[in-house]
């Protein structure tokens, strides 16, 4: 992505987030520039008076102007700072929020794409580790001020002598040459360090990773892990030290060039005082002014150039962020509104391969489910069961074939209305740090209390809610608020189930919903499955073969194809079938000296 484009994206985003900030930034730059200019020009008058008539009134006047002007600028800067500092942080944080919004709007396929995951990680890394967004803002501020100062001082010096400007420009050119030489070196170096830093970050973060602590101790992994961290320490140092040594020479050369500029300024203007040129003699006051202008000019130009280079650098850090912000969003998903009951769901020869993968997960899958039917989906890990769910939730489109609901292609329906009709409990479900009540109600503001209570009862949480101090208004989890309640894995799963039930959806999908529940709780869900789901259509995925018993039919998926689709009794007759094997391997364990 071109730098200009990245910059304009950044500015557009910042403007959207806080126009006031852009104005404040411009204002403070103008102010800074004006103050610098004032300090170049005003002393001239004081010095001219001091070397001239020395009239006490005029001396007092010019001193007062000089001191007063500086004071006024400082006052204004103080006032602006009051707003600028925290707004800068506001803009940074909001730009992160924008990224969060983007993540929620991109087409779902991006979220399961390892490339996009990596892009996001790199974007987040740049923003948090390099404070890329804040640097960006700082650089723009400095740059704007420098541009103003350079323009002003250039005009001033041109009045004295274009030759001076030329001489200084040569100096600046020399300085930039040195700077340019190290720049490529620096970029290569920093780029090479990024993956190492990420890996280093991974290994170091292991010590704070709660999940691995048991294993780390029981398997005495601490030496292996510590040594890895030490190795990386050494690696980072050994890579960096020679680079820093080179940098130091170049920085010294650049600073030496600065001294050269000061020498040239004094020398040239001083010579003009001694040997007046065609424009006449220069007073000592003017001497001071031009020398200040010259030194101010050179330092501002150097600063400006370095800001431009830093700008380029930070923009390259922000590249992943910008790329991510340009990802395609879920397209306009309007269509025919879905309403009423589900009469039939039909898969017609559906084939699907995950983007970036070479083998298809589903091949020529065809089956149809009648409205109100409860279907169990079984198969080995990786057979494609969860993929069916994702296709039904419109997270992916089939590569070929169609999915029809009530005779119409699923993708012709209006997205929002279809999502209203579906409720799912995924294997890796997620709950938020809202109140339990809000977690269940989701989008409806001020939900239907009896409905919430009913959903919780069906999920088996009535008693637990009664035990909690704030009942259903308890905040879930302590990550957000210390006063939140921590529930066990099984209780969380029940809340996820309650959330699905509350929705009163036409299609309920449950993917391993009882994995964390104990047998009694699990049995309760089974027993009441019909009343839980009601009249709606249901899809139930589980490794617990026992769950298939209470479903109307069982869809057996093997290697991405439909192996069977029939009621339990029928499937049990095929003693060489996959279903029979799966079922009996679990059932055997319950048949010894049991009932």
144-163: contacts with another protein (CB under 8 A): none
Contact status: 212 vs another protein (CB under 8 A): yes
Rounded-to-integer distance, Cα 590 and Cα 584, Å: 10
Rounded-to-integer distance, Cα 14 and Cα 6, Å: 12
Query: Encoding tokens for residue 474?
Result: 């308890």
Per-residue contact string for residues 108-137; x = within reach of another protein by CB under 8 A: x--xx-x--x--x---x----x--------
Considering only 34, 45, 270, 351, the residue that binds another protein (CB under 8 A) is 270
Considering only 2, 4, 56, 450, the residue that binds another protein (CB under 8 A) is 56
Our CB check for another protein shows the closer of 135 and 353 to be 135
Considering only 170, 221, 281, 339, the residue that binds another protein (CB under 8 A) is 221
Contact status: 20 vs another protein (CB under 8 A): no
Binding to another protein (CB under 8 A) within 369-398 occurs at 379-382, 390, 393, 395
Pairing mode, strands 537-541 and 553-558 = unpaired
Tell which residue, 94, 233, 100, 246, has the closest CA to residue 178. Answer: 246
Our CB check for another protein shows the closer of 7 and 562 to be 562
Lookup result for tokens 């892990």: 225
Our CB check for another protein shows the closer of 188 and 240 to be 240
Query: Encoding tokens for residue 470?
Result: 């704030």
Contact status: 227 vs another protein (CB under 8 A): yes
Binding to another protein (CB under 8 A) within 565-584 occurs at 567-569, 572-573, 581-584
Rounded-to-integer distance, Cα 80 and Cα 78, Å: 5
Tell which residue, 128, 133, 135, 313, has the closest CA to residue 205. Answer: 128
Rounded-to-integer distance, Cα 475 and Cα 485, Å: 6
Rounded-to-integer distance, Cα 126 and Cα 6, Å: 15
Contact 366, 562 (CB under 8 A): yes
Rounded-to-integer distance, Cα 104 and Cα 515, Å: 28
Considering only 1, 3, 11, 104, the residue that binds another protein (CB under 8 A) is 104
Our CB check for another protein shows the closer of 7 and 321 to be 321
Count residues near another protein (CB under 8 A): 173
Query: Encoding tokens for residue 434?
Result: 């809202």
Binding to another protein (CB under 8 A) within 232-251 occurs at 233, 236-237, 240-241, 244-245, 247-249, 251
Q: How far is the CB of 167 from another protein (least distance, A)?
A: 13
Query: Encoding tokens for residue 525?
Result: 């869900």
Per-residue contact string for residues 60-99; x = within reach of another protein by CB under 8 A: ---x--xx--xx--xx--xx-xxx-xxx-xx--xx-xx-x
Taking CB under 8 A as the binding criterion, the range among 173-181, 183-191, 216-224, 334-342 that sits at the site for another protein is 216-224
Contact status: 177 vs another protein (CB under 8 A): no
Contact 239, 272 (CB under 8 A): no
Considering only 61, 189, 203, 367, the residue that binds another protein (CB under 8 A) is 203
Q: Kindly list the distances between the CA atom of residue 191 and the CA atoms of 134, 182, 251, in Å, as whole numbers in the listed order.
A: 20, 14, 20
Considering only 11, 170, 252, 336, the residue that binds another protein (CB under 8 A) is 252
Considering only 192, 226, 334, 366, the residue that binds another protein (CB under 8 A) is 226
Contact status: 169 vs another protein (CB under 8 A): no
Q: Where are the alpha helices (DSSP H) in 51-161?
A: 56-105, 114-129, 132-160
Q: How far is the CB of 307 from another protein (least distance, A)?
A: 19
Contact status: 358 vs another protein (CB under 8 A): no
Binding to another protein (CB under 8 A) within 275-334 occurs at 275, 284, 287-288, 291
Considering only 166, 263, 281, 336, the residue that binds another protein (CB under 8 A) is 263
Rounded-to-integer distance, Cα 75 and Cα 107, Å: 50
Considering only 41, 103, 147, 154, the residue that binds another protein (CB under 8 A) is 103
Q: How far is the CB of 352 from another protein (least distance, A)?
A: 17
Considering only 224, 281, 336, 339, the residue that binds another protein (CB under 8 A) is 224
Taking CB under 8 A as the binding criterion, the range among 154-162, 196-204, 354-362, 397-405 that sits at the site for another protein is 196-204
Burial code of 535-572, b = ≥16 C-beta within 10 A, e = fewer? ebbbbbbbeebebbebbebbbbbbbbbbbbbbebeebe
Q: How far is the CB of 121 from another protein (least distance, A)?
A: 9
Our CB check for another protein shows the closer of 23 and 75 to be 75
Considering only 413, 526, 540, 565, the residue that binds another protein (CB under 8 A) is 526
Taking CB under 8 A as the binding criterion, the range among 136-144, 145-153, 169-177, 418-426 that sits at the site for another protein is 418-426
Query: Encoding tokens for residue 178?
Result: 């040195």
Contact status: 336 vs another protein (CB under 8 A): no
Considering only 397, 528, 543, 574, the residue that binds another protein (CB under 8 A) is 543
Contact 259, 7 (CB under 8 A): no
Say how many CA atoms lie within 13 Å of 467 toward its Cβ: 8
Contact 380, 548 (CB under 8 A): no
Contact 95, 17 (CB under 8 A): yes
Instruction: Return all residues near 238 (Cβ < 8 A) that are at least 6 apart.
Output: none
Contact 294, 261 (CB under 8 A): yes
Contact status: 473 vs another protein (CB under 8 A): no
Q: How far is the CB of 313 from another protein (least distance, A)?
A: 16
Contact status: 516 vs another protein (CB under 8 A): yes
Contact status: 408 vs another protein (CB under 8 A): no
Considering only 401, 546, 558, 561, the residue that binds another protein (CB under 8 A) is 546
Q: Is 440 helix (H, G, I), strand (E, B) or coil?
A: helix
Contact 454, 448 (CB under 8 A): no
Q: What angle do CA 249, 255, 260 make, to 5 degrees?
A: 125
């Amino acid at each position: 992505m071109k730098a200009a484009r990245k910059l304009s994206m950044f500015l557009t985003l910042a403007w959207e987030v806080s126009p006031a900030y852009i104005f404040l930034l411009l204002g403070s730059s103008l102010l800074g520039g004006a103050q610098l200019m004032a300090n170049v020009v005003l002393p001239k008058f004081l010095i001219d008076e001091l070397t001239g008539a020395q009239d006490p009134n005029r001396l007092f006047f010019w001193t007062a102007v000089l001191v007063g002007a500086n004071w006024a600028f400082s006052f204004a800067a103080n006032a602006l700072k009051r707003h600028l500092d925290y707004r800068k942080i506001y803009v940074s944080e909001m730009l992160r929020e924008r990224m969060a919004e983007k993540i929620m709007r991109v087409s779902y396929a991006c979220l399961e794409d390892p490339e996009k995951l990596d892009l996001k990680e790199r974007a987040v890394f740049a923003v948090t580790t390099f404070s890329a967004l804040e640097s960006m803002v700082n650089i723009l501020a400095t740059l704007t001020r420098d541009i103003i100062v350079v323009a002003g001082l250039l005009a001033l010096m041109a009045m004295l002598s274009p030759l001076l400007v030329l001489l200084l420009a040569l100096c600046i050119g020399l300085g930039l040459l040195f700077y340019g030489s190290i720049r490529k070196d620096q970029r290569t170096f920093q780029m090479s360090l990024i993956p190492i830093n990420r890996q280093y970050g991974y290994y170091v973060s292991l010590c704070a990773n709660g999940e691995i602590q048991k294993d780390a101790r029981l398997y005495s992994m601490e030496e292996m892990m510590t040594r890895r961290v030490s190795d990386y320490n050494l690696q980072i140092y050994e890579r960096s030290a020679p680079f820093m040594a080179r940098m130091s020479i170049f920085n010294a050369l650049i600073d030496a060039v600065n001294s050269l500029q000061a020498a040239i300024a004094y020398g040239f203007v001083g010579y003009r005082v001694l040997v007046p040129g065609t424009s006449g003699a220069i007073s000592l006051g003017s001497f001071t002014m031009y020398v200040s202008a010259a030194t101010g000019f050179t330092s501002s130009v150097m600063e400006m150039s370095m800001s431009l280079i830093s700008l380029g650098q930070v923009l390259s850090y922000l590249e992943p962020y910008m790329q991510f912000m340009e990802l395609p969003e879920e397209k306009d998903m309007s269509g025919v509104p879905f309403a009423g009951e589900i009469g039939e769901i039909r898969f017609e020869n559906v084939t699907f391969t995950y983007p970036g993968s070479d083998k298809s997960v589903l091949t020529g899958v065809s089956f149809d489910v009648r409205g109100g039917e409860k279907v169990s989906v079984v198969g080995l890990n990786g057979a494609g069961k969860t993929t069916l769910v994702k296709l039904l939730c419109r997270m992916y489109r089939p590569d070929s074939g169609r999915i029809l609901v009530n005779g119409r292609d699923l993708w012709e329906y209006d997205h929002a209305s279809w999502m209203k009709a579906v409720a799912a409990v995924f294997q890796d479900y997620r709950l938020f740090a809202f109140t339990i009540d809000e977690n269940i109600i989701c989008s409806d503001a001020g939900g239907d209390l009896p409905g919430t209570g009913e959903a919780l009862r069906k999920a088996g949480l009535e008693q637990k809610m009664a035990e909690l101090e704030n009942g259903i208004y308890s905040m879930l989890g302590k990550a957000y608020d210390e006063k939140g309640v921590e529930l066990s894995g099984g209780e969380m799963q029940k809340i996820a189930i309650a959330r699905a039930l509350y929705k009163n959806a036409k299609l309920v999908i449950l993917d391993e919903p009882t994995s964390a529940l104990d047998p009694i709780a699990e049995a309760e869900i089974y027993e009441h499955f019909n009343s839980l789901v009601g009249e709606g259509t249901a899809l139930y995925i589980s490794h617990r073969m026992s769950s298939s018993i209470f479903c109307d039919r069982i869809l057996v998926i093997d290697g991405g194809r439909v192996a069977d689709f029939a009621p339990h009794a029928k499937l049990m007759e095929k003693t060489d079938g996959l279903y029979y094997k799966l079922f009996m391997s679990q059932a055997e364990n319950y048949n010894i000296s049991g009932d």
